[in-house]
Chains A and B, each alone.
Chain A
Amino acid sequence: METMKDIVCIERGAARVGAARPMEGPELELMLETFWLDRLAVSNARYAEFIACGGYRQRALWSELGWQFVREHDLVEPAWWQDDAFNEPLQPVAGVSFHEAEAFARWAGGRLPTEVEWEKAARGADGRSFPWGEQDPNSELAVYAPGFVPSRRAPIAVDDLPLGDSPYGCRQMAGNLFEWTLDTFHVDTPAQRTQHLMVEQRVSPRRVAKGGAWTVGESRLRCAARYSAVPELRDNIIGFRVAYDRPPGASR
């Protein structure tokens, strides 16, 4: 079991999710049960513990598809693990597929957040547009690409830019790296939201990624914005954080 945990509690209550934009609508208020979420994106240092503990070799941590993927490609580390621009200990781990993120989450005693959980943690109960409020992004709030022209070509340390914190204290939920969520991505997922289905369960090759990254502009930093990628994507723009159904230290 890993050593570091820095978790916030997001208590039962309403969440405003979605936005009246293509692929994001409708705006909706949902009730979510209490859950816990990593305050910070998973760092390389934290991910290194997972590797050191044999995370890539423990079948039990992986879904069937994930295990197939990791074996087929003989994966032992993230795609950018040896790249000096992305492998500083405090940078968020990048180049992890959805499958690797899922396995890590299981190893850490949790799971990936659903899209609406992620969105609530980022927007707070008031459903603000950005984690910090309504103000347009700037370089003190987030790492992103103004006008889609990147201001830097790699993510910063996971604990940097406190001014951009969400109402729950979650950091960098806009920019730096996208984050994997549990949901599969369908063009009609917003309609599913109206039926209060928290997780889209149908088969889709894509998973929802949230929050934006160093590569994207202002519009993609909004908490309601949705990006999607195949679960095998291991690009340097997607990381993740872990959600938990029980408070840290609680027995299972």
Chain B
Amino acid sequence: MSKPKKIPTFFWEYRNRRPDDIDLADYRLEVAGAVEHPFIASLEELAERVPRVEVRRRFYCVNGWSLEALWSGYRVADLLAAVAPRDGFDYLRVTSVGGYEDTSPIQRLIGGDALLATHMDGEPLSVERGKPMRILLFDMYQFKGVKAVKRIEVVADYRPGFWEKVGYSEEMIEIQPYPHFAIDLGEERMPEIDKLANAEPMERSARARRKQS
């Protein structure tokens, strides 16, 4: 029997209060900016425009934990293919229902197979997890994964997001090669990111330990 899991959440625009619930019947996602085919869509309309996918993947929080789940929703790459970004507009700006925004290079989101997730383990995302959809990044820390997404724009300019303004720079987004607490497993695990799997420090400290013993 699996234990009920408590999952950390930082939903910064709401700080210490529960985010407002979102009426799915009224909800519309806007995909706009420098694109050939902008749209505003309900959840049903979105599913008609972009293919739905399901992936089992683990994400990592800069605070030192990780969570694997079955996520379903839309690949950012597929979403962008549906709207056709114009050349020379290299960034994606994502804004939440609460007005929180973050900007990322499009190539990085596509390269990391970022997801616009609507479901976790078969259930629609709860308010705390980012109802009705959130960005998920799997190959870097999650602090750029905007929750409760309302608007997605293709833009030419980078604008630092909330956490970047206090120093969460390019350097800080790289997942670090030390154990992270896997919330779903209840234990510490080394990151499974390919480039970290054979990271130097484990090798090196193992060698050093052998030398000592």
A binds B: yes
Q: How far is the CB of B169 from chain A (nearest CB, A)?
A: 6
Partner of B169, one of A25, A220, A232: A232
Segment from B35-43, B94-102, B113-121, B170-178 that makes contact with A: B170-178
Contact of A191 among B15, B163, B178, B204 (CB under 8 A): B204
CB of B111 closer than 8 Å to a CB of A: no
Interface string of B163-187 (1 = CB under 8 A from A): 1001111011000111101010010
In the complex, chain A residues whose CB is within 8 Å of the CB of B200: 187-188
Cβ B167 vs Cβ A148 within 8 A: no
Instruction: Tell whether, in the assembled complex, residue A216 and residue B201 are in contact, meaning their CB atoms are under 8 Å apart.
Output: no
Interface size on B, residues (CB 8 A): 36
* Contact status B188-A95, CB under 8 Å: no
A133-147 CB mask vs B (1 if < 8 Å, else 0) is: 000000000000101
Are the CB atoms of A228 and B176 closer together than 8 Å? yes
**Choice from B15, B64, B177 contacting A148 with Cβ under 8 Å:** B64
Residue in B63, B171, B176, B205 whose CB lies within 8 Å of A24: B205
User: B183 is contacted by which of A148, A206, A233 (Cβ under 8 Å)?
Assistant: A148
Q: Is the CB of B166 within 8 A of A235?
A: yes
- Asked if A226 is at the interface of the complex by the 8 Å CB criterion, the answer is yes
Contacts known (A226-B178, A233-B168, A234-B166); A217 close to B65, Cβ less than 8 A: yes
Residues of A within 8 Å of B204, CB to CB, are 187-188, 190-191
Query: With A194-B208, A217-B64, A219-B188 in contact, do A23 and B178 touch (Cβ < 8 Å)?
Result: yes
Whether A148 touches B65, Cβ cut-off 8 Å, given contacts A22-B177, A191-B208, is yes
Q: Is A205 an interface residue (CB 8 A)?
A: yes
CB distance from B73 to the nearest CB of A (A): 24
* Interchain pairs with CB closer than 8 A, number: 106
A219 adjacent to B63 (CB under 8 Å): no
B16 in contact with A153 (CB, 8 Å):
yes
Decide if B127 is an interface residue (CB 8 Å cutoff).
no
B6 lies within 8 A of A147 (CB): yes
How far apart sit A97 and B167, CA to CA, in the bound complex (Å)? 9
With A187-B200, A216-B63: A26-B209 Cβ-Cβ less than 8 Å: yes
Do B171 and A230 have beta carbons less than 8 Å apart? yes
The 6 A-B pairs of least Cβ separation, nearest first, read A25-B205, A233-B167, A148-B65, A187-B201, A23-B178, A26-B208
Interface, chain B (partner A; CB < 8 A)? 6-8, 15-16, 61, 63-65, 163, 166-169, 171-172, 176-179, 181, 183, 186, 188, 190, 199-202, 204-206, 208-209, 211-212
Chosen A-B contacts, 23 in total, with CB atoms closer than 8 Å, are A22-B202, A22-B205, A23-B176, A23-B177, A23-B205, A24-B205, A26-B208, A79-B166, A95-B166, A147-B181, A147-B186, A148-B183, A150-B8, A187-B199, A190-B204, A220-B64, A226-B178, A229-B172, A233-B167, A233-B168, A234-B166, A235-B163, A237-B63
